[in-house]
Amino acid sequence: MTTRNHQASSVFRVDKFVVPAEAREEILGKVRMTHELLRRQDGFVRDFVLEQFSGPGEFNIVTMVEWESQEAVEKVVPIVKAAHERIAFSPQETIARLGVKADIANYQRVPEL
């Protein structure tokens, strides 16, 4: 696949979180664990874990994972779910328990004008 075609078909999973200071270490630990798993999956391109250090934005932790295609995303979802179940980790429960606000979605590139 050419770089241009690869970029056109990429899918970006972007998770944005408002994380209270007291929940920071636990959330980042779970993010680290999940991203270590994601990096080993077929179709993984790259990832970023970002923390806000200035500005008025609401979300202070943002993660982004680039996948080669929607098919790669669909293949990894059950793998991640199974890994979380094996260690009794529920992202939804953790977010609720820690008072974290989350905005989670998949994105694609805007075609060049």
Note whether residue 50 is domain-resident. yes
23 or 7, higher pLDDT? 23
Q: Is residue 113 part of a domain?
A: no
Look at the block and give the residue holding tokens 């979605």.
105
Residue 84 lies in a domain: yes
- What is the DSSP pairing of strand 11-18 with strand 61-67? antiparallel
3-state secondary structure of 93: helix
Residue 59 lies in a domain: yes
Please give the structure tokens belonging to residue 61: 């932790």
12 half-sphere exposure, CB direction, 13 A CA radius: 14
Residue 99: which domain range? Answer: 3-107
Would 103 be classed as within a structural domain?
yes
Number of structural domains in the chain: 1
Give pLDDT, residue 3. Answer: 47
Q: 4 pLDDT exceeds 60?
A: no
56 — phi, psi (to 5°)? Answer: -90, 5
Residues 48, 80 contacting (CB under 8 angstroms): no
Q: For residue 112, is it within any domain? A: no
CATH of the domain at 34: 3.30.70.100
| Residues 8-57: tens digit of each pLDDT | 689 999 999 999 999 999 999 999 999 999 999 999 999 999 999 999 99
Residue 89 lies in a domain: yes
In Å, what is the CA distance from 82 to each residue of 32, 65, 74? Answer: 17, 19, 14
